Amino acid sequence: MAQLTMREALNQALKEEMTRDPNVFILGEEVGAYQGAYKITQGLLAQFGEWRVRDTPIAEEAMMMTFNFSLLALDMIVNHAAKYRYMSGGQIRCPMVMRGPSGAATQVAAQHSQGFESWYAHIPGLVVVMPSTPKDAKGLLKSAIRDDNPVIFMENEILYNLKGEVPEEEFHIPLGLGDIKRAGKDVTLVAWSRSVITSLAAAKTLADEGVEAEVVDPRTLRPLDEDIIFESVRKTGRCVVVEEGWRYAGFGSEIADRVQRECFDSLDAPVLRVTAADVPMPYAKTLEKAYLPQPERIVEAAHQVLYRS
């Protein structure tokens, strides 16, 4: 297996799918001549030409660089892309992937640090993908491109340089299939995207105390692999959901809801959530740290559901 960054893995996925299917093309701000604002589309213009890799103007009703600015396009996404297939009785498909960074980076403050996965996951007709490793990113992007539904593919800027093993042979990861990122028997941590990395750090601390945390990564929020979560919670009896979005009506509450209903008799403690603070992201570094879920807060929540003080 090759060691790749998530950036390279995503680039490979695009390249392979564009090679496989001449109908695949890319539209976006700075995707061509600039090689991508985050260099995900590096080399694609040279390889596939300007008809298939097209630079667009900054017109965020239609295009965006990060999901922070996708809100202008919400009407197109929610009222059109997500509904065509349904409203046309399946006659019109919308095989489109909207990909880009989402969530906080480093000190880019209130307007540039938002995670809108909960907004998109709310909409029937959309697929929402949030990979946490290079392998997942590649395998899931390939599936997203092949899928006939509009897919919201949310990457995390901090993870672009994250390295990991990626199979060299052709592979893809089905949408709607979760993954156990770390096996454990004492407490279930459900996390996606960058929160997986934070949760793995917390799990390491917990392991030093003799607590084996299981880190479950659903990878796609819609459709959601709830079975992998239920199976884990039934084993551990305890569940902490970690997300970088806001707590209020955040996606973690969807998971907490399903867990309390389906795993009620297995729960030894209430489902807890570790989330971003319920405020706009502050600019100050220390406040940014306090705003985002940190391993310590996850450890604390795990202690709470384990009744350890």
CB 98 → other proteins: shortest distance, Å? 40
Taking the complex as a whole, the smallest distance from the CB of residue 203 to other proteins amounts, in Å, to 20
Using the minimum distance from each CB to other proteins, give the nearer residue, 140 or 271.
Answer: 271
The least distance separating other proteins from the CB of residue 307, rounded to whole angstroms, comes to: 6
Site for other proteins contains 51 (CB under 8 A): no
H or E element that contains 208:
helix 194-208
The rounded radius of gyration (Å) of the Cα atoms in the chain is 19
- By rule CB under 8 A, what count of residues binds other proteins? 8
Q: Is the peptide bond before 124 cis (omega within 30 degrees of 0)?
A: no
Residue placing its CB nearer to other proteins in the complex, 36 or 237: 237
Q: Which is nearer to other proteins, 136 or 186 (CB)?
A: 186
Site string for other proteins, 222-261 (x = CB under 8 A): ---------------x------------------------
| CA dist., res. 132 & res. 6, Å (int) | 9
Length, in residues, of the chain: 309
Cβ 270 to other proteins shortest distance, Å: 8
The closest alpha carbon to 172, from 151, 202, 194, belongs to: 151
Nearer to other proteins by Cβ, of 122 and 235: the residue is 235
Q: Which of residues 262-291 bind other proteins (CB under 8 A)?
A: 264-269
Backbone φ and ψ for 204, nearest 5 degrees, come out as: -65, -45
Q: Which of 16, 60, 226, 262 is catalytic?
A: 60
Yes or no: say if 95 and 149 are a contact pair by the CB < 8 Å rule: yes
What's the closest the beta carbon of residue 277 comes to other proteins, in angstroms? 24
Q: Could you give the dihedral angle defined by the CA atoms of residues 23, 28, 30 and 36, in that order, rounded to the nearest 10 degrees?
A: -60
Q: Is 60 known to be catalytic?
A: yes
Q: Which residue number, 170 or 265, has a Cβ lying nearer to other proteins?
A: 265
Q: Among residues 30 and 262, whose Cβ is nearest to other proteins?
A: 262
User: Among 60, 1, 63, 2, which Cα is nearest to 28's?
Assistant: 63
- Catalytic pick among 112, 122, 172, 303: 112
Dist. CA 39–CA 215, nearest whole Å: 30
Task: Write the CA distances from 36 to 65, 115, 144, 245, integer angstroms.
Answer: 9, 21, 19, 26
Beta strands in 140-282 (DSSP E): 151-155, 163-166, 179-182, 187-191, 213-217, 220-222, 239-246, 272-276
Site for other proteins in 144-203 (CB under 8 A): none
Between CA 206 and CA 152 the distance in angstroms is 33
CB of 212 vs other proteins, minimal distance in Å: 15
Q: Which residues are catalytic?
A: 60, 112
Return residues touching other proteins (CB under 8 A): 237, 264-269, 307
